[in-house]
Chain A
Amino acid sequence: MANSQTLTDTQVLEDVQAARRVKIGLISATVRYVLLFSVGLVMLYPLIWLIGASFKTNSEIFAGAGFLPESPTLDGYIKGWQTSTPYTFGRFFWNSFLIILPKVIGTAISCTMAAYAFARFEFPLKKIFFVSVIAILLLPNVVTRIPQYILFRDLGWLDSFLPLWVPSAMAGDAFFVFMLVQFLRSLPRDMEEAARVDGANSLQTLVYIVVPMLAPALISVCLFQFMWTMNDFLGPLIYLSSVDKYPVSLALKLSIDTTEAFEWNRILAMSVLTITPALIVFFAAQRYFIEGISAGGVKG
């Protein structure tokens, strides 16, 4: 280190610089906040407007840009819920639930098994299989959709939930396999080896040791699958033809097609309802979403 004289000099210099930095920092921070607030407002205003507009009367919806309804009404919700079909939106939410639950469970189990195999075992063609995970990740669905449709038709699965469940239950969403493999590779193996020494077989090790450690990543997987399935439109559009099996995404499209031209608030009200589950889940578990994306990168 330098002697005491130069030390004081540098200290004075540092103080001056520090003061300047604070000033610049203050200006820079202000600019940042202003920018972020305005971008945030532009980003979120459409959603705020949507929620407000769903309580407006039809004549008010296009009358002004404000989001507060002048004479709030539940008309849109009550009439929108009834739909123009023999079913209420309750039926469509139930269908969405029936599609999502088995799909999420199947995804979690099959992807965990695949990731366990890749991260903890040696077997023939392992490299090639892992390359196939990346290949599926990059493969556009558009190229396999038509033969899949023909396959499901030949199996007699059209107009059932099976085409939506089964591919995912076979670890078909390669992104999740990839994400879990990355996560599992970063975990220490000591516990598993200890369990092995104590006589646990590989399945017991998986269920009692690996799955608990994998829990944060698994929660991310389930949440993303929930969200994507809730938003999925093309799959149900292709495979489901009877209205009584429609999930909310199809039902919403149906209500645009069948609602009289000026019943805007019904459609907006049902739009709000269909995004509510996703919003609740997101706010309840946003940590897992952000960590999930940061860890592996996600579409969306």
Chain B
Amino acid sequence: MRGQRILGLAYLAPYIVGLVVFTAMPFLTSLYLSFTSYDLMSSPKWSGLANYERLFTRDRTFLKSLNVTLLYVFITVPLKLAFALFIAAILNYKLKFINFFRTAFYVPSILGGSIAIAVLWRYIFASEGLANMALGTVGLAPVDWFGDPTNALFTITLLRCWQFGSAMVIFLAALQSIDKSLYEAAAIDGAGKVRTFIFITLPLLTPVIFFNLIMQMVQAFQEFNGPYIITQGGPLKSTYLLPLYIYDEAFKKFNMGYASAIAWVLFVIIMGLTLVAFWSSKKWVYYAGDKRS
């Protein structure tokens, strides 16, 4: 069996090297850099907690950016998941053209991350763009999407909700795997559609809701292309998400230490929320065959 062990490690070697060189070491280095001031020219200078102190006490841009980021994530992720689940539930019937719809709804997910679509968004929400024309046809006043700080962030939220396809496909696969006899039993007991959905479908979907929630959250916290291309962080920094701030500090001003500190704050928030989700999942995620519910 010694041969087995060596062979296994040999096949895994590229992964192990990559893990150490491109993930583990950078991960620790960035923690170290967050306690230094480093401009890439001279070597990093240890500055203790100075970066973090500045972030939380003197850096208004950071506090604004943090606020906007949390707002963005807490609006976008639930909205996107609710929409994905809603459409998946409608699709989960023996409809004709189900494949056609599934494909049509998935196309935006394929393209949504591209720069081309972010560019398109600028045109759609321009003052005389498609969105305002659509509002006009139903008799609503045009909206100042990019000029008004309360609206600009929402255009990015809409872009990411438009990309609901992959969450929907996961929901749909889970819905189709639910045992039909459960629905028959509920129907015999006289449960209506809504009650059946709330008391049977939703509990059985909690594992995939949990999975989607984590993946979408981790992703939403790292949103970069949307604000970079569509709004450039404006107006009045109302779409200046933390990844944008990190990018500016690191790759425009070359404050590598300070940027690392922001990145670590963002990382701790993401990890914290992920851990909360995992911890709370014991209370709300139902695994079939498991006694707790």
Binding site for B on A (CB under 8 A): 28-29, 32-33, 35-36, 39-40, 43-47, 49-50, 53, 61-62, 64-65, 110, 113-114, 116-118, 120-124, 126, 129, 132, 136, 138-151, 153, 166-167, 169-172, 177, 202, 206, 227-228, 230-231, 233-234, 238, 249, 252-253, 256, 264, 267-268, 270-272, 274-275, 278-279, 282-283, 286, 289-290, 293-294, 297-300
Tell me whether B112 and A234 are in contact (CB under 8 A).
no
Measured CB to CB, the closest approach of chain B to A166, in angstroms, equals 8
Given contacts A43-B162, A271-B120, A282-B107, contact A113 B15 (CB under 8 A): yes
Q: Which of B100-123 contact A (CB under 8 A)?
A: 101-117, 119-120, 123
For B133, what are the chain A residues with a Cβ–Cβ distance below 8 Å?
A: 64-65
B82: CB under 8 A from chain A? no
Distance of A177 Cα from B16 Cα, bound (Å): 12
The 9 closest A-B pairs by CB, nearest first: A170-B18, A121-B8, A123-B8, A147-B26, A271-B116, A117-B11, A147-B29, A294-B173, A144-B26
B274: CB under 8 A from chain A? yes
Tell me whether A136 and B8 are in contact (CB under 8 A).
no
Tell me whether B107 and A62 are in contact (CB under 8 A).
no
For B221, what are the chain A residues with a Cβ–Cβ distance below 8 Å?
A: 140, 142
Q: Which of B19-65 contact A (CB under 8 A)?
A: 19, 21-23, 25-27, 29-30, 33, 40
Q: Which of B71-79, B139-147, B264-272, B279-287 contacts A (4 or more CB under 8 A)?
A: B264-272
Tell me whether A289 and B15 are in contact (CB under 8 A).
no
Measured CB to CB, the closest approach of chain B to A61, in angstroms, equals 8
Q: Interface size bucket, B side?
A: 35 or more
Distance of A234 Cα from B4 Cα, bound (Å): 41
For B215, what are the chain A residues with a Cβ–Cβ distance below 8 Å?
A: 297, 299
Task: Kindly list 10 other residue pairs between chains A and B, CB separation below 8 angstroms, not including A43-B162, A282-B107.
Answer: A36-B95, A129-B19, A142-B243, A150-B29, A151-B21, A151-B22, A252-B115, A275-B111, A279-B107, A297-B211
Given contacts A65-B133, A172-B18, A253-B115, contact A123 B29 (CB under 8 A): no
Distance of A33 Cα from B100 Cα, bound (Å): 12
For B67, what are the chain A residues with a Cβ–Cβ distance below 8 Å?
A: none
Closest to B128 in A: A62
Q: Most chain-B CB neighbours within 10 Å: which of A44, A45, A62, A149?
A: A62
A-B contact pairs, 30 of them (CB 8 A): A36-B101, A39-B87, A46-B162, A47-B108, A47-B111, A116-B11, A123-B5, A123-B9, A136-B23, A139-B23, A142-B242, A142-B243, A142-B266, A144-B23, A145-B263, A147-B33, A148-B22, A149-B251, A150-B29, A171-B18, A227-B110, A249-B114, A268-B120, A268-B123, A271-B120, A274-B114, A282-B110, A294-B170, A297-B170, A297-B215
Given contacts A143-B27, A231-B114, A253-B229, contact A150 B256 (CB under 8 A): yes
B202: CB under 8 A from chain A? no
Distance of A143 Cα from B33 Cα, bound (Å): 11
Tell me whether A279 and B110 are in contact (CB under 8 A).
yes
Question: Is chain B's interface secondary structure helix, strand, loop, or mixed overall?
Answer: helix
For B123, what are the chain A residues with a Cβ–Cβ distance below 8 Å?
A: 50, 53, 61, 264, 268
Tell me whether B115 and A274 are in contact (CB under 8 A).
yes
Tell me whether A286 and B115 are in contact (CB under 8 A).
no
Distance of A270 Cα from B10 Cα, bound (Å): 45
Tell me whether B256 and A290 are in contact (CB under 8 A).
no
For A32, what are the chain B residues with a Cβ–Cβ distance below 8 Å?
A: 90, 93, 95
Given contacts A62-B128, A177-B15, contact A141 B4 (CB under 8 A): no
Given contacts A49-B130, A238-B251, contact A169 B14 (CB under 8 A): yes
Closest to B137 in A: A65
Contact of A122 among B8, B124, B259 (CB under 8 A): B8
Distance of A11 Cα from B225 Cα, bound (Å): 61
Contact of A46 among B11, B124, B222, B247 (CB under 8 A): B124
Distance of A170 Cα from B243 Cα, bound (Å): 25
For A234, what are the chain B residues with a Cβ–Cβ distance below 8 Å?
A: 224-225, 247
Measured CB to CB, the closest approach of chain A to B102, in angstroms, equals 7
B68: CB under 8 A from chain A? no
B250: CB under 8 A from chain A? yes
Tell me whether B163 and A300 are in contact (CB under 8 A).
yes
Tell me whether B17 and A170 are in contact (CB under 8 A).
yes
Measured CB to CB, the closest approach of chain A to B166, in angstroms, equals 4
Distance of A298 Cα from B211 Cα, bound (Å): 10
Contact of A50 among B30, B101, B120, B218 (CB under 8 A): B120
Contact of A140 among B5, B101, B222 (CB under 8 A): B222
Distance of A190 Cα from B65 Cα, bound (Å): 56
Closest to B270 in A: A140
Given contacts A43-B104, A147-B29, A279-B110, contact A65 B134 (CB under 8 A): yes
